[in-house]
């Protein structure tokens, strides 16, 4: 196994040498040199970290904060990784989740010359042919992009979101390195396997690729805008498809103040209670009615217009939920919010989220104690975010693996609750959430149109099965009669056998390379002459390297 991993890692080691060295340096500066040791003595990373080690391992700063600082220092990819992990209390400890929520996504702006050249490269036109004016000072600058005010040649005021220069190259290299680290962790640090580092990196890669594609973001923005066409309290900016590309997004300019700026909101004379209610309503509707929601709903993305209408921005990170999952989630949330412990556990069992080693009685008992405590409380005094965190913590303690989309939903609702409390402290979120969710739950259960679509699909599937059944049975019987029927049994330890086979192949490869270069060296050195002698020694060096690799693989005994 180790041989396979080492060979795979060589690909990024050589290509991304500089970046890996920087990552290792940042880790070492923040006191994480010790993690290299966990990656095994063969890991190249250890050598790099040792080389750049400038600080003692122990640090008075808590490990969670140091981790956050590492991510911030390493730039966009790692900041985004941290933001994703902040939504996964099932994967990382709560203390780290809390710390990662404070990740700063504000970075110094990049020069206007870069803005201009990116726009021109993407549009294939001089900037002046598209915009009659672009403000040189950005409105905001973040790790992925920065935003400038502009005016189109046709006179419409717009804002342009321009991606950071060379972002794609950096992200691609970082993702390659992260994939390598994830593979290392899975092979060398077995206790990380339940957290599936490779799967996390894969999920993160998809999410980041979506976020850096502004054409996809524009499509999400348009979908969200259409979803809420009937909602007078919300406005989503229109984008200009003709002036939107992968790295440039042009959208209408809407004026408003940040929802977190309570003083400005009060000065505008808007109804704060109504803003909070609208915010919570659109959050819940987007999740439970449309299954398409804003997965990054921090206060910086919410603005309020003079007439009290909410402006929602930044549709780079969106969550999607299948209708069937919406049903499961609704049932789960209704069960939690109405204090029905048995229903909560049934939902978890139905969704196949409870591990084999879970003590069901203990889980019920712990859930009961939380749900009863909240059931007795006044609706207004319930902190929904804290409540959901407690429920999640109990689940995690009992090895119930909550799916990522449920956690994202929890994060969205909790963020909206936080915004609500910030601008209207009397806000009672549970008073809005509980009846809303229960009503949606009832309406979905009694929705004949939805049920009939399922019935129609099942009928058609069943009929197809019935129609094909006689032919399939006849085919199987014919094969049986001719003695051609084969039954493939899949062994539970097939994966470890595959790993073993990979290890054998790697050893054979190393052995072959060693033999080739060794005999090559002998022949070249035997023939004499300057060029042949030099080539002979190079060949001898290479054979020695492959010999060491082979010896190391045999000594470790991986894949036995």
> Residues 463, 480, 534, 548: which binds other proteins (CB under 8 A)?
463
Query: Cβ 61 to other proteins, closest distance in Å?
Result: 45
Query: Cβ 242 to other proteins, closest distance in Å?
Result: 36
131-168 core/surface letters (b: 16 or more CB in 10 A; e: else): beebeeebebbbbbbbbbbbebeeeeebbbbbbbbebe
> Residues 274, 452, 496, 498: which binds other proteins (CB under 8 A)?
452
Binding to other proteins by residue 472, rule CB under 8 A?
no
**Distance separating alpha carbons of residues 419 and 198, to the nearest angstrom:** 34
Nearer to other proteins, 459 or 504 (CB): 459
For other proteins, the binding residues in 336-355 under the rule CB under 8 A are 337-340, 343
In 483-493, which ranges are continuous DSSP H helix?
none
> Residues 181, 335, 367, 423: which binds other proteins (CB under 8 A)?
335
> Residues 14, 137, 446, 489: which binds other proteins (CB under 8 A)?
446
Query: Cβ 442 to other proteins, closest distance in Å?
Result: 6
Judge whether 113 counts as a catalytic residue. no
Binding to other proteins by residue 266, rule CB under 8 A?
no
Nearer to other proteins, 118 or 440 (CB): 440
Query: Cβ 341 to other proteins, closest distance in Å?
Result: 11
> Residues 361, 449, 481, 482: which binds other proteins (CB under 8 A)?
449
Backbone torsions φ then ψ of 512, nearest 5 degrees: -60, -45
DSSP per residue, 62-131: -HHHHHHHHHHHH-HHHHHHHHHHTT-TTTS-HHHHHHHTT---B-PPPPHHHHHHHHHHHHTS-HHHHE
> Residues 125, 469, 476, 515: which binds other proteins (CB under 8 A)?
469
> Residues 266, 445, 477, 504: which binds other proteins (CB under 8 A)?
445
For other proteins, the binding residues in 167-226 under the rule CB under 8 A are none
**Largest pairwise CA distance in the chain:** 93
**Distance separating alpha carbons of residues 130 and 243, to the nearest angstrom:** 8
Query: Cβ 121 to other proteins, closest distance in Å?
Result: 47
Region binding other proteins by CB under 8 A among candidate stretches 89-97, 130-138, 262-270, 467-475: 467-475
Q: How far is CA 302 from CA 105, 145, 150, 262, 331, in A?
A: 16, 18, 21, 12, 29
Which tokens belong to 140? 């905001």
> Residues 108, 470, 483, 528: which binds other proteins (CB under 8 A)?
470
Residue 290 CB contacts under 8 Å (≥ 6 apart), including other chains? 227
**Distance separating alpha carbons of residues 354 and 369, to the nearest angstrom:** 19
Strands (E), 489-536: none
3-state SS, residue 293: strand
Nearer to other proteins, 242 or 468 (CB): 468
Query: Cβ 423 to other proteins, closest distance in Å?
Result: 27
Region binding other proteins by CB under 8 A among candidate stretches 118-126, 275-283, 289-297, 446-454: 446-454
Query: Cβ 417 to other proteins, closest distance in Å?
Result: 18
Backbone torsions φ then ψ of 234, nearest 5 degrees: -135, 140
Site size toward other proteins, by CB under 8 A: 33
Residue 114 CB contacts under 8 Å (≥ 6 apart), including other chains? 165
Backbone torsions φ then ψ of 427, nearest 5 degrees: -55, 130
Query: Cβ 457 to other proteins, closest distance in Å?
Result: 8
Identify which of 121, 174, 119 has the alpha carbon closest to the alpha carbon of residue 143: 174
Nearer to other proteins, 435 or 541 (CB): 435
3-state SS, residue 165: coil
Query: Cβ 435 to other proteins, closest distance in Å?
Result: 6
For other proteins, the binding residues in 402-441 under the rule CB under 8 A are 434-435, 437-439, 441
Binding to other proteins by residue 443, rule CB under 8 A?
yes
Rg for the chain, CA atoms, rounded = 29
3-state SS, residue 322: coil
> Residues 193, 397, 451, 474: which binds other proteins (CB under 8 A)?
451
Residue 502 CB contacts under 8 Å (≥ 6 apart), including other chains? 1, 4, 559
> Residues 10, 51, 349, 460: which binds other proteins (CB under 8 A)?
460
3-state helix, strand, coil in the chain (%, to 5): 65, 10, 25
> Residues 104, 154, 453, 498: which binds other proteins (CB under 8 A)?
453
Region binding other proteins by CB under 8 A among candidate stretches 12-20, 360-368, 456-464, 550-558: 456-464
Which residue among 105, 174, 213, 296 is the active-site one? 296
In 258-340, which ranges are continuous DSSP H helix?
262-268, 272-288, 323-337
**Distance separating alpha carbons of residues 205 and 213, to the nearest angstrom:** 12
Backbone torsions φ then ψ of 508, nearest 5 degrees: -60, -40
DSSP per residue, 381-428: G--HHHHHHHHHHHHHHTTB---HHHHHHHHHHHHHHHHHHHH-TT--
Binding to other proteins by residue 477, rule CB under 8 A?
no
Binding to other proteins by residue 448, rule CB under 8 A?
yes
> Residues 94, 267, 349, 459: which binds other proteins (CB under 8 A)?
459
Contact 13, 44 (CB under 8 A): yes
Nearer to other proteins, 152 or 409 (CB): 409
Query: Cβ 433 to other proteins, closest distance in Å?
Result: 10
Identify which of 80, 79, 77, 92 has the alpha carbon closest to the alpha carbon of residue 404: 92
Nearer to other proteins, 128 or 435 (CB): 435
Tell me which residues are annotated as active site: 296
The binding site for other proteins (CB under 8 A) comprises: 334-335, 337-340, 343, 434-435, 437-439, 441-443, 445-446, 448-449, 451-453, 455-457, 459-460, 462-463, 466-467, 469-470
């Amino acid at each position: 196994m180790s041989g396979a991993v080492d060979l795979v890692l060589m690909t990024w080691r050589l290509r991304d040498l500089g970046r890996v060295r920087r990552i290792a340096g940042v880790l070492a500066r923040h006191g994480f040199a010790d993690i290299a040791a966990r990656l095994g003595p063969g890991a190249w990373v250890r050598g790099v970290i040792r080389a750049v080690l400038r600080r003692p391992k122990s640090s008075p700063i808590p490990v969670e904060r140091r981790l956050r600082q590492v991510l911030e220092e390493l730039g966009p990819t790692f900041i985004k990784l941290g933001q994703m992990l902040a939504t996964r209390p099932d994967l990382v400890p709560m203390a780290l989740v809390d710390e990662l929520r404070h990740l700063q996504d504000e970075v110094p702006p990049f020069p206007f010359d870069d803005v201009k050249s990116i726009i021109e490269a993407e549009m294939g036109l001089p900037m002046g042919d598209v915009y009659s004016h672009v403000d040189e000072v950005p409105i905001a600058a973040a790790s992925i992009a920065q935003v400038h005010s502009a005016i189109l040649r046709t006179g419409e005021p717009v804002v342009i979101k321009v991606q950071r220069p060379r972002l794609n190259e950096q992200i691609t290299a970082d993702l390659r390195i992260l994939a390598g680290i994830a593979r290392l962790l899975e092979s060398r640090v077995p206790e990380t396997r339940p957290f599936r580092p490779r799967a996390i990196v894969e999920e993160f890669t998809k999410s980041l690729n979506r976020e850096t594609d502004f054409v996809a973001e524009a499509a999400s923005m348009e979908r969200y805008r259409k979803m809420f066409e009937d909602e007078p309290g919300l406005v989503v900016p229109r984008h200009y498809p003709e002036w939107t590309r992968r790295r440039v997004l042009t959208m209408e300019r809407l004026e408003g103040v940040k929802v977190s700026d309570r003083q400005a909101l009060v000065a505008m004379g808007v109804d704060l209670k109504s803003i909070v209610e609208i915010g919570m309503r659109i959050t819940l509707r987007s999740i439970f009615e449309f299954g398409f929601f804003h997965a990054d709903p921090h206060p910086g993305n919410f603005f309020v217009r003079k007439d009290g209408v909410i402006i929602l921005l930044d549709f780079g990170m969106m969550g999607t939920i299948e209708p069937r999952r919406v049903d499961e989630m609704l049932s789960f949330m209704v069960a939690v919010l109405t204090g029905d412990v048995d229903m909560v556990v049934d939902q978890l069992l139905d969704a196949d989220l409870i591990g084999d080693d879970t003590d069901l009685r203990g889980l019920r008992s712990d859930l009961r104690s939380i749900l009863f405590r909240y059931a007795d409380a006044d609706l207004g005094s319930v902190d929904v975010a804290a409540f959901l965190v407690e429920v999640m913590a109990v689940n995690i303690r009992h090895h119930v693996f909550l799916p990522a989309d449920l956690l994202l939903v929890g994060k969205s609702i909790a963020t909206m609750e936080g915004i609500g409390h910030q601008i209207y402290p009397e806000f009672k979120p549970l008073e809005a959430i509980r009846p809303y969710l229960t009503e949606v739950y009832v309406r979905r259960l009694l929705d004949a149109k939805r049920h009939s679509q399922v019935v129609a699909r099942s009928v058609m599937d069943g009929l197809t099965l019935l129609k094909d059944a006689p032919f399939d049975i006849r085919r199987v019987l014919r094969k049986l009669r001719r003695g051609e029927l084969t039954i493939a049994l899949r062994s539970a330890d097939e994966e470890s056998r595959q790993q073993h086979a990979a290890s054998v192949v790697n050893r054979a490869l190393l052995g072959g390379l060693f033999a080739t270069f060794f005999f090559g060296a002998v022949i070249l050195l035997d023939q004499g002459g300057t060029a042949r002698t030099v080539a002979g020694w190079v060949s001898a060096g290479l054979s020695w390297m492959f010999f060491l690799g082979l010896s190391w693989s045999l000594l470790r005994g991986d894949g036995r």
